[in-house]
Structure 1
């Protein structure tokens, strides 16, 4: 089975009372994007939308595969279980994975070490699979 053509991974932390500056301080890294509940932002279509929840997102493309992308992203973050326990108690935390296929026979696997990194941080992997247009 050939590897998936392209993938993106994003650590997503969301919640009504989320303070993006606090999350940045706790994790020690600037997010790719963040918002507070009620913030107005312009989306790609040019329309303004009001954020229904606060969010803090750290994203990366994964040219070396899904495992490498998740590992690289989590490698930038603290491993301290107390930090992740606190975040998971107060917010919804997950690892979004967007998988983009060129061919119907492509696939991706998560190795045990990467699954362990996700479990250690209480992160659920979410997989969205897309067919890339020719």
Structure 2
């Protein structure tokens, strides 16, 4: 089986009543980005600021070459609180997911997550959300191969 080209993972929280300062304190880790509902948010960075329609808190791994997804997810979760009562409260109050991107450079690729990483997600009640990207190469005539 061929290798995964790259992967990324982001733990995301969203909700109308989300207070990024409170969430940061409860989780015990700093977000990659966060905003309170009604505050100005600049995303993507080259766009003008706009008012956030809901609160948002995200901790991202960044992009890594190859199949690093299991490591990225585990690293994010291990840097935050292990108190499952806090996690239960947060998943009750907010929409929470681990959003992952996987980029393929060839067809018929696969990836897997280890049981300990799946347990970290499951114990915390975190939904795993995968986006898998593949753009087949163009043939010499500019058309996609059949």
Q: TM over 0.5: same fold? A: yes
Task: Give 1:81-92 correspondences, 5 Å limit.
Answer: 81-92=84-95
Q: How many residues align?
A: 134
User: Which has more radius of gyration?
Assistant: 2
Tell me how far 1:39 sits from its aligned partner.
1.8
Q: Normalising by structure 1, what TM-score?
A: 0.91
Aligned pairs for 1:101-116 (under 5 A) are 101-116=104-119
Residue 40 (structure 1) shift: 2.0
Q: Who is 1:129 aligned against?
A: 132
Paired residue secondary structure (2:22): helix
- Structure 1 stretches of 4+ with a deviation exceeding 4 A read none
Q: Is the 8 A contact 2:106 2:136 kept in 1?
A: no
Q: Distance in 2 between matches of 1:79 and 1:109?
A: 23
Relative to its length, the structure with more strand (as a share) is 1
1:22–1:133: structure 2 CA closer, same or farther, 3 Å change rule?
A: farther
Name the residue aligned to 1:21: 21
Q: CA RMSD in A?
A: 1.7
Cα deviations by residue, 1:23-69 (Å, 9 ceiling, x for unpaired)? 00001111000011122223334233321110100000344611111
Q: TM-score, normalised by structure 2?
A: 0.84
